[in-house]
């Protein structure tokens, strides 16, 4: 393809093809679309890419994505300090926030325990979670983790660690087993939060 498309265009197509879910045809369509846009728009996109990469890190408390040392959610004084909702990924925080049903704090693990992929508990933000959960003001930890094999493993592992000193619940199986938390609709997610039960 590079012998037909002029070099800078071929390079852009190559770069776009590295993105998840973008195949050769989509990359070509996107690149040709972008060439037709005004230069200011391309600069805005390029700048947004660089800014996001340079400015966004994780919250020092809950490990949600944040441009500040402590994220907006952790800094909101009206949110309950007594409940921590544990999720695998920042996307799950967004999904739960959209239900508008939850007023506590979060803890983002950064993944799930998956021996097959070489991800053990030490690769996840589990130690900081234990520290947070052992503070006196914390009365409940909600595990909002996908019901996949890795999710079940992680849920069981965290349950064992946390139950000695805090109430541990998990969201109800309102979401379809094998489904992805991120893609559940707001109603289902809200039901799942509401119907949470204590880990036996």
Binding residues for a second copy (CB under 8 A):
1, 3-9, 11-12, 14-16, 18-21, 25-26, 28-35, 37, 39, 41-56, 65-68, 71-73, 89-91, 93-94, 97, 182-183
d(CA 165, CA 134): 6
In terms of CB distance, is 161 or 175 closer to a second copy? 175
Do 106 and 165 contact (CB within 8 A), yes or no? no
Nearest approach, Cβ of residue 74 and a second copy (Å): 12
In terms of CB distance, is 99 or 162 closer to a second copy? 99
Nearest approach, Cβ of residue 68 and a second copy (Å): 7
Nearest approach, Cβ of residue 90 and a second copy (Å): 7
In terms of CB distance, is 176 or 195 closer to a second copy? 176
Please choose, from the candidates 197, 181, 74, the residue with its C-alpha nearest in 3D space to the C-alpha of residue 142.
197
In terms of CB distance, is 33 or 137 closer to a second copy? 33
Nearest approach, Cβ of residue 168 and a second copy (Å): 25
Nearest approach, Cβ of residue 42 and a second copy (Å): 4
In terms of CB distance, is 59 or 168 closer to a second copy? 59
């Amino acid at each position: 393809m590079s012998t037909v498309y002029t070099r800078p265009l071929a390079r852009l197509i190559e770069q776009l093809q590295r993105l998840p879910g973008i195949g050769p045809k989509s990359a070509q369509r996107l690149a040709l679309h972008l060439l037709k846009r005004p230069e200011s728009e391309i600069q805005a996109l390029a700048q947004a890419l660089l800014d996001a990469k340079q400015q966004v890190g994780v919250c020092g408390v809950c490990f949600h994505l944040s441009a500040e040392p402590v994220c907006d959610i952790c800094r909101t004084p009206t949110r309950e300090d007594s409940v921590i909702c544990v999720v695998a990924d920042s996307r799950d925080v967004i999904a739960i926030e959209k239900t508008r049903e939850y007023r506590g704090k979060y803890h983002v693990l950064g993944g799930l325990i998956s021996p097959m992929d070489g991800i053990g508990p030490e690769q996840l933000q589990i130690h900081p979670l234990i520290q947070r959960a052992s503070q006196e003001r914390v009365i409940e930890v909600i595990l909002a983790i996908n019901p996949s094999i890795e999710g079940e493993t992680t849920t069981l592992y965290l349950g064992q660690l946390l139950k000695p000193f805090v109430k541990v619940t998990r969201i109800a199986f309102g979401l379809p087993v094998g489904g992805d938390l991120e893609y559940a609709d707001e109603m289902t997610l809200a039901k799942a939060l509401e119907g949470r039960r204590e880990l036996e």
